[in-house]
Structures are given as C-alpha cells and as structure tokens.
C-alpha cells in the first residue's frame, strides 16, 4: 500500500509567543500582536499566544491591564518569540534574572526572536544580542553597546534570526517584516491591508535632524536611575556613574 502524502493539516503548528511582564507599553505588545493574529487567521498553520509567569492581570503603562493566554511552562518551544518594551518597569527588568532566564530559554530553540522598543535591551541583557546589530527606542539606543550589541538608528533591524524594532509604533513595521519572512511578502501585504496600516501622521514625518535629542538625556537618565535604584552596580555599568 502506498503511503498517503502528508497534508497541510498534519504539518506542525508554528507558535508565535509574545512575552508579557508587568509595566509594558501596550502598543509594543498589541501592535505586532494584531499583525500576528491576522497572520494566524489567514494562515492556520500559525498560532499566536501571549506568555507570562502567571495567567493573571498585569499592569501596563496605561490604565489598561493585560492577561497572558499561557504560562511560560505551557509554551516551552515557540517558533518565534517577541518581547515588548516599556520605560521604568522594563529598565528595572534588566536586573530581573528570572525574566532574563525565561527569555534565554524561549529564544534557544526559536527560529525568530524579535523585540519592540526597549524590549531589545532585555534581549541584550540576556546575552542574546552580543555581536549583533540592533535598535531600540532612541532614548536608550546607546545602551545596547553596554551589552555588546551594535546600535543602529533604523526603524527595524534584522540580524540573523533576530529582528528588533525602534520605539513603540515601529513594532508594527517589524511584525509585518516578520510575517513576510515566515509566510511571504504577498501575505504580509494582505495583513497590512486588513489592519489598514497606512500611516499618514497629521504633522508629517518626525524631523530627526531638527530634534534636540540631547535635551531628552536627563529624562532618560532619570528613568534609568529610578528603575535601577536597588541595583547600583548595574546602573554604574550602564552609565559610568559611581
């Protein structure tokens, strides 16, 4: 008897896992989450989940809380991992060895590892971006060098199986690129159409050349100091302050 060819339904489901932890920036999570959820709808071979330590409400940097769909233990071997960022809570998580360990475990067997905004700092602190090009929110881009990564001032940056996005809304761009990598550009364009991602900001593009970036340094430094008040050694490592 001849063997029956494997059908698409028998192919393993590829799970895209978003990491949730307290204090994240909501759009860092839900922007790319919406993109990948659309992918799961259009291509049933993909599944999108949100993982965390516990399935319970987690505070964000807005009045809205989020609840993971699964625990880390329930999704031990995802196809792709995406890490959102934030401000003070994310910076404080640079010293959270439990979370950093979770990221290392998830990334170990993942085909793709991504981040949005300061989520790349968590990947870097976990030792995953050493020697790689990466980006993050412009307030903290230079901190990537402290973890052995090469900062790049781009909307999103791909280096091997790692893809990092700049601040907040850039996560949508990164997620569309991820969809193109795993399912092809035509499907990525269809996702873009479905979510009607066609940015036309009322004041035009950001005038980076005319932005006084240095004037924001005290705010960024203050947030980092607040986040790492209980971890002076790490703060000194990231700032050269004693």
Q: Which two tokens stand for residue 164?
A: 């990092």
Cα separation, 232 vs 242, in Å, equals 8
**Residue written as tokens 């881009």?**
141
Of 66, 92, 113, 117, which is the active-site residue? Answer: 117
- The vertex-216 CA angle with 83 and 230, nearest 5°, equals 60
Sign of CA dihedral 30, 168, 159, 227: negative
Tell me if residue 36 is catalytic.
no
Catalytic residue annotation: 117
């Amino acid at each position: 008897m001849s063997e029956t060819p494997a059908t698409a339904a028998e192919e393993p489901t590829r799970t895209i896992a978003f990491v949730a932890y307290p204090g994240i920036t909501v759009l860092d999570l839900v922007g790319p989450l919406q993109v990948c959820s659309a992918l799961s709808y259009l291509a049933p071979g993909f599944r999108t989940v949100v993982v965390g330590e516990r399935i319970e409400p987690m505070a964000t940097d807005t009045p809205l809380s989020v609840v993971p769909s699964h625990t880390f233990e329930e999704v031990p071997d995802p196809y792709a991992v995406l890490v959102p960022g934030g401000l003070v809570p994310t910076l404080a998580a640079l010293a959270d060895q439990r979370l950093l360990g979770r990221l290392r475990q998830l990334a170990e067997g993942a085909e793709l590892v991504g981040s949005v905004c300061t989520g790349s700092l968590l990947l870097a602190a976990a030792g995953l971006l050493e020697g790689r090009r990466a980006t993050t929110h412009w307030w903290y881009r230079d901190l990537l060098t402290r973890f052995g990564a090469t900062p790049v001032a781009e909307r999103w940056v791909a280096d091997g199986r790692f893809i990092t996005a700049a601040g907040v809304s850039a996560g949508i761009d990164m997620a569309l690129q991820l969809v193109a990598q795993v399912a092809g550009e035509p499907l990525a364009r269809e996702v873009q159409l479905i979510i009607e991602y066609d940015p036309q900001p009322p004041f035009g593009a950001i005038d980076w050349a005319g932005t006084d970036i240095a004037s924001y340094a005290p705010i960024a430094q203050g947030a980092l100091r607040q986040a790492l008040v209980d971890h002076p050694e790490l703060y000194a490592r990231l700032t050269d302050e004693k």
